[in-house]
Amino acid sequence: MLNSFRHFLSPISTHGGGYLACLLATLCFPALPAAAQDQPVRVIAFGAHPDDCDLGAGGLAAKFAALGHKVKFVSLTNGDAGHKSEGGGPLAMRRRAEAQEAGRRIGIEYEVLENHDGRLLPTLEVREQVIREIRQWKADIVIAPRPNDYHPDHRYTGILVQDASYMVIVPNIVTDTPPLRRNPVFLYYSDRFTQPQPFRADIVVSIDDVFQKKIDMLDAHVSQFYEWLPWTAGQLDEVPKDPVARKKWLATQFLATSKVRPEWMAALEKRYAAEATRIQHAEAFEITEYGRQPSEEEIRKLFPFFAAK
């Protein structure tokens, strides 16, 4: 939604030396991703609703896809409550079609799961869905919201991905899907929430070159960006009726929200050097404590967009 994207695995007490296993899982698997062997980077992003991933990582996805890497967006709910005058099965079908069109526009996969909008809970069943998605995609990078957010579905999406982050390598969990041999790098989308702590921009990627592609993705979600969200903001009468005009209107709405924030500059300068001050639009990500902790070398291999050192 419009305003939602906004220590190492902590010591855990489990039977059979779980903490040691956790350390081995994050430290001892090969440090470099598939990209180091000239294989595509495999990215999977989770959102609570169809359109959430687009908001947080649509530009990043477009950049990866343009370079031949593999990206999948997954909505944990079917979005069947997110509208002012529609709902249930018909709305879910509409939102699934919108999501698939958004993915088609930039060349990525987009899956919508059949959990109800507004009713998502961090259950074992949904956790296992998340584990399967990450394993089946053979992910190098996993992206999700932080578990502090205004919407319960967003919060629980963050918790579900956190809960899956170690389990994706455990063979005796979700035994119908082979475990990963190496824990992925887990990232959070950026947000503006400050409790219990503010978002930390570890990786910031310029999307100036794909800003219009991101708008193209958002434009596919007609039910959200031209109907539901303007209605919730009291702006429905501002949305143009003409498809071309309303797409231009949509771009103006996101000029401000995608602008580089002052607190992102250090990460931009680290990776873009002198180019950093010319970047206008970006997406930022925080490296979570729950997956593999990448070195700077690995970050630059996983994100092949940065200036050479």
Domain count, the chain: 1
The predicted-structure confidence for 105-130, as pLDDT tens digits, reads as follows 999 999 999 999 999 999 999 999 99
Residue 77 falls inside a structural domain: yes
Averaged pLDDT of the chain: 89
| Whole-structure pTM value | 0.88
Q: Residue length, the chain?
A: 309
Using the 8-state DSSP alphabet, how is residue 5 labeled? Answer: -
The predicted-structure confidence for 200-256, as pLDDT tens digits, reads as follows 999 999 999 999 999 999 999 999 999 999 999 999 999 999 999 999 999 998 877
Helix or strand or coil: residue 83?
Answer: coil
CATH of the domain at 75: 3.40.50.10320
Residue 233 falls inside a structural domain: yes
- Joined together, the tokens standing for residue 249 give 């209107």
Do residues 72 and 109 lie in contact, with contact meaning Cβ atoms separated by under 8 Å?
Answer: yes
% of residues, the chain, pLDDT over 90:
84
pLDDT bucket at 21, cuts 50 / 70 / 90: very low
Write down the pLDDT at residue 212: 95
Q: What is the distance between the alpha carbons of residues 106 and 67, in angstroms, rounded to a whole number?
A: 11
Torsion sign over Cα 76, 54, 235, 6: positive
- If one counts every other C-beta atom within 10 angstroms of the C-beta of residue 37, the result is 8
Residue 131 falls inside a structural domain: yes
The predicted-structure confidence for 170-196, as pLDDT tens digits, reads as follows 999 999 999 999 999 999 999 999 999
Whole domain around residue 62: which residue ranges?
40-302
127, amino acid identity: R
Backbone φ and ψ of 284, nearest 5°: -120, 150
Residue 162 falls inside a structural domain: yes
Q: Which of 229, 154, 157, 232 is nearest to 193 (CA)?
A: 154
Residue 10 falls inside a structural domain: no
Do residues 108 and 43 lie in contact, with contact meaning Cβ atoms separated by under 8 Å?
Answer: no
